[in-house]
Amino acid sequence: MITVVRPGPLTTVQDLGRPGYAHLGVPHSGALDQPALRRANALVGNPPAAAGLETTLMGCALRFERAARVAITGAVATVRLDKVPVDGEVIDVPAGAVLDVGRATRGVRSYLAVAGGIAAEPVLGSRSTDTLSGLGPAKLTDGMTLPIGELTGGSPPARAAAQAVDELLLGVRRGPRDDWFVAAELFASAYTVSPMSNRVGCRLAGSALTRAKAGELPSEGVVLGAVQVPADGQPLIFLADHPTTGGYPVIGVVDDVTPLAQARPGSTVRFRELD
C-alpha cells in the first residue's frame, strides 16, 4: 500500500482513459500527457495502460509501506526520498520511505508510475479519475491509501513525452461551426493560457472572436480538442475530462492536445489551419 502524506492541489489516478462511452455522456478522461504516463510505465516494466498518478504543479508526497520501483516523468520537479534529493527518472524506494515530488519548475503535470501499477477499483474498464463526472477514484487526500498491483508484464519503449514550452503552435481543422465566426481571426492572433484552465478544458485569453451569426445552438456532441467559443468570444479547448455535449459553437478541432498538458498559465498559444 501507499499512504498519501501530502496530496498536492490536484493529484489523481490516471490511466489511458475509458473510450467508447460518449453516447452515455461519459468523457474519455485519462492522463492529459499520455506519452509521459506511457514512458513512466515502460521505465518500471508496466503495461502501457497501467494506472499511475498525475500531479498538478505542486506535486505530492507518498509513504511506501513496502519497497517499490518508481518512475517519474512529465513536468520537471525536484524529487526527494526521505528529504534527500534524488536524480534520474527511476527510483528504488525502500519500505517505509517517503517520496516527495516537489513543485513543477517547468511544465505542469508530473506522472508517477510504480511497478505493478495503482490497483484502484476500475470503473467502466478504467481507473482514471474523471473530474467532471466524478467517475473513478477520488482525488488524493491526506492519509488516503492506494493499493499497488502485481507486476504482470513489460511495456514497449514509449515515445518522448511532451516538452514544456512557452509558445505552442496547435494545428486546427475548421468546423463544424466555423461559419458562425470570422474564422480567420483565430489564426491571426496569439492567445495566452488562462489560470482558469483545468482537466476539462484549456481556457485562452486574447482577442475575442467576432461572431458572423447571431442566435443560439441546441446542444450537440463535442470531442477532444474541440475549440468552443463561449459568449465572451474567448476560445476554450476541450481536454480529457470534457463534456460530451455543448451548446456553444465549435469553430474547429485541435488535432493534438498533448502539448497543452504541460502549458503553464501565461504560455502563448497560436493556431495554424490544417487541410
Give me the pLDDT at residue 166, please: 82
Look at the chain and report how many structural domains it folds into.
Answer: 2
Residue 30 and residue 128 share a domain:
yes
Single out the residue in 82, 111, 146 at which a domain terminates.
Answer: 146
How much is the pLDDT for 158? 56
Same domain, 117 and 79: yes
Low-confidence ranges of the chain (pLDDT < 50): none
142 and 171 part of one domain: no
Look at residue 151 and tell me if it is in a domain: no
Q: Are residues 63 and 120 in the same domain?
A: yes
Instruction: Say yes or no: 20 and 103 in one domain.
Output: yes
Q: Calculate ∠ Cα 51-57-58, nearest 5°.
A: 95
CA distance 16 to 224: 14
Residues 6+ apart with CB under 8 A from 84: none
User: Over the Cα atoms of the chain, what is R_g?
Assistant: 19
Q: Is residue 49 located within the same domain as residue 124?
A: yes
- Domain end, chosen from 91, 117, 146, is at 146
By the 10 Å C-beta count (0-12 exposed, 13-18 middle, 19+ buried), 199 is classed as buried
Which CATH number do you get for residue 109? 2.60.120
Beta strands in the chain (DSSP E): 2-6, 12-14, 52-54, 60-64, 68-81, 84-86, 90-93, 98-114, 145-146, 167-174, 191-193, 201-205, 220-221, 226-228, 236-238, 245-246, 250-254, 268-273
| Coil, helix or strand at residue 7 | coil
Give the residue numbers spanning the domain of 142.
Answer: 2-146
pLDDT reported for residue 37: 97
106 and 178 housed in the same domain? no
Q: What pLDDT is attached to residue 151?
A: 80
**12 and 120 share a domain?**
yes
pLDDT at 161: 55
Residue 196, domain member (yes or no)? yes
In a domain, 258, yes or no: yes
Domain of 211, CATH number, reads 2.40.100.10
- Taking residue 9's Cβ as centre, other Cβ atoms within 10 Å add up to 11
- Burial of 198: CB neighbours in 10 Å, binned 0-12, 13-18, 19+: middle
The dihedral through the CA atoms of 186, 191, 194, 199 has a sign that is: positive
CA distance 136 to 32: 16
- Tell which of 114, 146, 178 closes a domain: 146
